Amino acid sequence: MILEIKNLKKVYGDKTVVNIEYLQIAEGETVGLVGNNGAGKTTFFRMLLDLIRPSEGSVLSKGENVMQTDAWKDYTASFLDEGFLIDYLTPEEYFIFIGSLHNLSQADVSAYLSRYTEFFNGEIINSGKYIRDFSKGNQNKVGIAAALMQNPEFLVLDEPFANLDPTTQIRLKTILRSLKSERRLTTFISSHDLNHVTDVCDRIILLEKGLVIKDFMKDENSLKELEEYFSE
């Protein structure tokens, strides 16, 4: 079991933003987190990554509390928003920096990047721009690619499909699927787009006002079910 959530709560003032009693994610699962704005998805993800101190409860990654050790950083890669990018670097510099944290040499990094030329669509590498000068979609690509480069066992992405063009959306889905079958990658993604989520995930968690409303394995009726839920 790669992730275990126990009685996780985050309270701001008198408002409980996240309140998850128990949740676990097994290795190799691709889990989608859906919910409207304000459902607490990002706050939840931030707690997973030890960026926000939970008011109560704990997040266990491979049985270890993320607040207490750094070991989870070895196998967890994430991209939530542009705040994860060091925007005054060129993409190459950023990839090399992230790579160096995982003991990848420059050659390793360029070898990796060459596999993703299609994904980058010729706009990222050797563009002569800092990350801050890219469009949001391309920044997203840099963040996602940097996360994938870390060879993670556990991947956390917040709204990865937002701002991406249709071609890239499809490519990203292909990449996620193939990584899952190749390496048993565990993925936890959030999205507003029910189509994408049902397409790529095999388990779906529905969050509303911080509570887990539904948690089910995907089948052919899932999309309909979700659409019905959200149109109410």
Partner 1 sequence: MLSTFLSHQRKSFWRSRNKGGSIATQIVMGFFILYFVAIALIVGFGMPYLLPKVFKGQDPLKMFDGIILYYFAFDFLLRLQLQELPTLSIIPYLHLKIPKQKIISFINVKALFSAFNLLPLFIFLPFCIIRIAEAYGVFAMLMYIISILSIMVFNNYTVLYIKRKSITNILYTVIGLAVIAGFAALEYYKVISIMTGSHFVFSAVAAHPYYGLFFTLVAGLMFWINSEYLRKNLYVEELSTKQEKKASTDYAFLNQFGRVGELAALELKLILRHKRSRYSITMSFFFLIYGLIFYKEKIIAADEFGKMMFAAIFMTGISIIMYGQFMFAWQSAHFDGLLSNKINFKDFIKAKFLLFTIAATIITLLASFYGFLSPKLLLLHLAAYLYNIGFGTVTVLYLATMNYKRLDMTKSASFNFQGTGATQWLLMLPYVLVPFLVYLPFGMLDKPYLGLVVLSAFGMIMLLMRGFWVDFITKKFEQQRYKIAEGFRE
The verdict on 74 binding partner 1 (CB under 8 A) reads yes
The verdict on 9 binding partner 1 (CB under 8 A) reads no
Smaller CB separation from partner 1, 122 or 128: 128
Size of the site for partner 1 (CB under 8 A): 35
Rounded least distance, CB 83 to partner 1, Å: 4
The verdict on 56 binding partner 1 (CB under 8 A) reads no
Q: What angle do CA 124, 117, 89 make, to 5 degrees?
A: 30
Which residue from 80, 91, 83, 73 is spatially nearest to 127, judged by alpha carbons? 91
Cα 208 to Cα 146: distance, rounded to the nearest angstrom: 30
In sequence order, the 6+-apart residues with CB closer than 8 A to the CB of 90 are 127, 128, 129, 130, 131
C-alpha distances (whole Å) from 212 to each of 65, 100, 199, 216, 229 are 21, 38, 21, 11, 14
The verdict on 122 binding partner 1 (CB under 8 A) reads no
The verdict on 86 binding partner 1 (CB under 8 A) reads yes
Cα 105 to Cα 97: distance, rounded to the nearest angstrom: 10
The verdict on 151 binding partner 1 (CB under 8 A) reads no
Stretch that binds partner 1, among 19-27, 77-85, 186-194, 216-224 (CB under 8 A): 77-85
The verdict on 97 binding partner 1 (CB under 8 A) reads yes
| Interacting residue ranges for partner 1, rule: CB under 8 A | 46, 49-53, 70, 73-74, 78, 80-90, 92-93, 96-98, 100-102, 128-130, 132-133, 150
